[in-house]
Homo-oligomer: A and B are copies of this chain.
Amino acid sequence: MIIVLRPDSTESQIDHILERIRELGFKPHLSRGELRTIIGVIGDENKLAAEPLSAIPGVEQVLPILKPFKLASREFHSTDSVVEVGAARKSTVRPVRVGGGALLMIAGPCAVESAPILDTIAGQVKQAGANLLRGGAFKPRTSPYSFQGLGEEGLRILRDVGDKHGMPVVTEVMDPRQVGMVERYADMFQIGARNMQNFDLLKEVGQARKPVLLKRGMSATVKDMLMSAEYILAEGNPDVVLCERGVRSFEDSTRNMLDLSAVPNVKGQSHLPIIVDPSHATGRPDLIPAMARAAVAAGADGVHVEVHSCPEKALSDGPQALLPPQYASLLRDLRRLAEVMGKSI
């Protein structure tokens, strides 16, 4: 940590700052320059971070120099983590791996609507090459008057359909009180963008024993996302998969702005797998295939796509879903790109 002093800082202020740093158990290094005096404090910044050094009179800026996360960092774990989904379940489900060259292909409808509809979609996406089935039972909707999901009934349908097709399943959990229930049915928790900084929920899934798909918040930086992953890891759950799904921006022709640079950005500093969700990012089926291809070429560990056999009757987010044949065509492209990237689906 570097503390830059104000040009008008006094000697007694400087002495006070040095004393304060020593009180906190750190060793300060003072450098007086022509235009500015600076104090270097080299040590564990995580301990210092909670200290309001910039509030001390005479201080102009406090510049951190180390990353604020540990367990999520490459320094902590240098090789790519591989997360296995569906392994815990003793059933017909075929476990799937993500990271280290294995691509996760998540597909399914936005919401679980009924067993027959989900069954149809699951059959089609599995055939196309998807290896993890998604479907929401608890839906975070902007309006209290929109369809909020089928709740536990939705979880039951999702589980049954997953078992029938031999696919592990992922579904969103929104409330810490539902974590236990969701864990009984699903193979992977999804934490949605709106809950990326719902810290009590993060701690709760951190104590569970199923992998977590953590979606980037709509105004979260890459660092914020890694700090949220750190919450889960710090509770003892090592199986976190990140998901870039677009952030809010001024561009009004897409729902969000997909930040694909988050993929190599995360990979440079963290060992966690990261996948991409072009469906929520763009909200436009005409853009989804191109963005899914770009994700694989950028080095993503998987792609999350909403697929619905009858988008115009979907109870949630129908307009952004691909049709099953569109999804099948996309997967053919992704397989060829994965090969160029030295990966496989």
Binding site for B on A (CB under 8 A): 2, 4, 7, 20, 29, 31, 33-36, 38, 40, 42-44, 46-47, 49-50, 52-56, 61, 63, 65-66, 68-69, 75, 140-147, 174-177, 194-195, 197-200, 217-219, 221-224, 227, 230-231, 234, 247-254, 257-261, 263-265, 268, 281-282, 286-287, 289-291, 293-299, 311-319, 321, 333, 336-337, 340
* Nearest opposing residue in chain B for A54, CB measure: B319
Contact call B298/A142, Cβ cutoff below 8 A? no
A293 and B343 alpha carbons, distance in the complex (Å) = 15
Contact B63 A63 (CB under 8 A): yes
With contacts A68-B143, A294-B294 known, is A287 near B264, CB below 8 A? Answer: yes
Whole-angstrom CA separation of A146 from B47 in the bound complex: 8
Q: How far is the CB of A226 from chain B (nearest CB, A)?
A: 10
Contact of A144 with B234 at beta-carbon distance under 8 Å, contacts A31-B31, A43-B35 already known? yes
Assuming A55-B314, A252-B252, is B257 touching A143 (CB within 8 A)?
A: no
Closest 5 CB pairs of A and B: A33-B42, A52-B318, A219-B219, A297-B297, A55-B311
Other than the given A31-B42, A177-B177, A261-B281, 6 more pairs (CB < 8 A) read A35-B66, A36-B42, A36-B66, A63-B65, A143-B227, A336-B340
Taking a contact as CB atoms under 8 Å apart, the answer to whether B199 and A294 are in contact is: no
Given A33-B42, A42-B36, A296-B297, answer yes or no on A251-B264 (Cβ-Cβ < 8 Å): no
25 contacts between A and B (CB under 8 A): A7-B75, A36-B66, A38-B40, A38-B65, A40-B40, A49-B145, A50-B316, A52-B311, A53-B312, A55-B311, A68-B143, A176-B176, A194-B197, A194-B199, A219-B248, A249-B249, A253-B265, A260-B260, A261-B287, A264-B286, A268-B287, A290-B298, A294-B294, A294-B298, A297-B298
A244 to nearest B CB, angstroms? Answer: 11
Q: Is the CB of A249 within 8 A of B247?
A: yes
Contact partners of A63 in chain B: CB under 8 A: 2, 63, 65
Q: Are A197 and B40 in contact (CB under 8 A)?
A: no
Q: Are B261 and A291 in contact (CB under 8 A)?
A: yes
- Across the interface, which residues of B come within 8 angstroms of A311, CB to CB? 52, 55
| Docked pose: A53 CA to B174 CA in angstroms | 27
A144 CA to B229 CA, complexed, in Å: 10
Q: Check if B199 sits within 8 Å of A141, measured CB to CB.
A: yes
Cα distance A7–B54 in the bound complex, in angstroms:
26
Q: Say whether A251 contacts B268, CB under 8 Å.
A: no
In the complex the two chains form, is A175's CB within 8 Å of B176's CB? Answer: yes
Given A75-B7, A145-B46 in contact, is the A252-B286 Cβ separation under 8 Å?
no
Contact yes or no, B258 A261, CB < 8 A: yes
Measured between alpha carbons, how far is A249 from B337 in the docked complex, in Å? 29
What's the Cα separation between A175 and B294 when bound, in Å?
Answer: 36
Do A144 and B230 touch across chains, with their CB atoms under 8 A apart?
Answer: yes
The residue on B at minimum CB distance from A228 is: B142
Rounded to whole angstroms, the CA-CA distance of A36 and B336 in the bound complex is: 40
B265 and A254 contacting across the interface, CB-CB below 8 Å: yes
Q: Among the listed B68, B141, B340, which residue makes an inter-chain contact with A333, where contact means beta carbons less than 8 Å apart?
A: B340
- Which of B47, B140, B222, B254 has a CB less than 8 Å from the CB of A197? B140
Q: Given the complex, which residues of B lie within 8 Å of A145, measured CB to CB?
A: 46-47, 49-50, 68, 234
